Amino acid sequence: MDARPVGVFDSGMGGLTVLHECLVTMPNEDFVYLGDAARLPYGPRPLDEIRRFAREIAGYLEGLGVKLIVVACNSATAAALPELQERLSVPIMGVIAPEAHAAVQATRNRRVGLLATQATVESGRYAELIRAHDAGVRFFPVACPRLVPLIESDDPFAAETVEAVREVAAPLKRAGCDTVILGCTHFPLIRPILQRVFGRDVELVFSAEETAREVSETLARKRLANARKHEGEYRFLTTGDPAQFRSMGARFLQLPLGEVERVALADLERSAA
């Protein structure tokens, strides 16, 4: 039995959608979630900068004594996962590999689309993983810089969001994609809009359930699972405004957040030194 918590981090609050599935899949485990709201969004930033942020946060979580880290951010996973796995002593998992595998399994016509941030698209990580699973799949990535701010707005289901979804969906519909990866942890919140625009014949793939299952299996395989029969606790940290994080975060987690602690960027920077 290992009672240490699992660490989860994201550029902001989108990763709470992944944490939700982890809480459901592993109800006995404790979790620590860190959202880097002060530096949100990661998507438009250079990959080197995202790598530095990811090193800082992962190092900070390791310093808190977590037993495994989930990079619940597609941009950070794409930019930094291999480097983090080399540098840190605890197991580290990302959200991209489960999505790529699920998409290749789901597609019927071998045409897969991707909606993601600019950084995730530019990394080319999805293309590499999909080709590794099936080199014959045609892949169509589309960057969506407008969507994250709209999803985090006061009205994520406004007409402007619908129009933005129609705009990014158009090239994937023209390409005949029957499977589309939602390559950002924010996007499941507007899944009804996405499904309406793409139609029921298009499979929308999001990794939260697959990621949670992989985390659970990894903990069991490495004998890190918490065997105590109790409901696990969860702790929230942010580099931004705790009150805003608590208010907005409930929308993503679909559970009450309780207390949110603020972490200074200087403390993160020291963790990567």
Q: What is the mean pLDDT of residues 28-40?
A: 96
Q: Output the pLDDT for position 161.
A: 97
Residue 53 to residue 35: CA distance in whole angstroms: 11
Q: Output the pLDDT for position 273.
A: 58
Q: At the top level of CATH, which class does the domain 6-94+209-271 belong to? A: alpha beta
Q: Is 95 in contact with 129 (CB distance < 8 Å)? A: no
Residue with tokens 């169509």: 140
pLDDT in tens, 199-221: 999 999 997 988 999 999 999 99
pLDDT in tens, 219-257: 999 999 998 778 899 999 999 999 999 989 999 999 889
pLDDT in tens, 54-83: 999 999 999 999 999 999 999 999 999 999
pLDDT cut 90: percent of the chain above it: 88
| Residues classed as catalytic | 73, 184
Q: Which of 71, 162, 163, 77 is nearest to 116 (CA)?
A: 77
Longest dimension (CA), the chain: 52
pLDDT in tens, 123-166: 999 999 999 999 999 999 999 999 988 998 889 999 999 999 99
33 class by beta-carbon count within 10 Å (0-12 exposed, 13-18 middle, 19+ buried): buried
Would you list the domain boundaries of the chain?
A: 6-94+209-271, 96-206
Identical fold for domains 6-94+209-271 and 96-206, yes or no, is yes
Q: Which fold has domain 96-206?
A: Rossmann fold (3.40.50)
Q: Output the pLDDT for position 79.
A: 95
pLDDT cut 70: percent of the chain above it: 100
Q: Is the pLDDT of residue 180 over 70?
A: yes
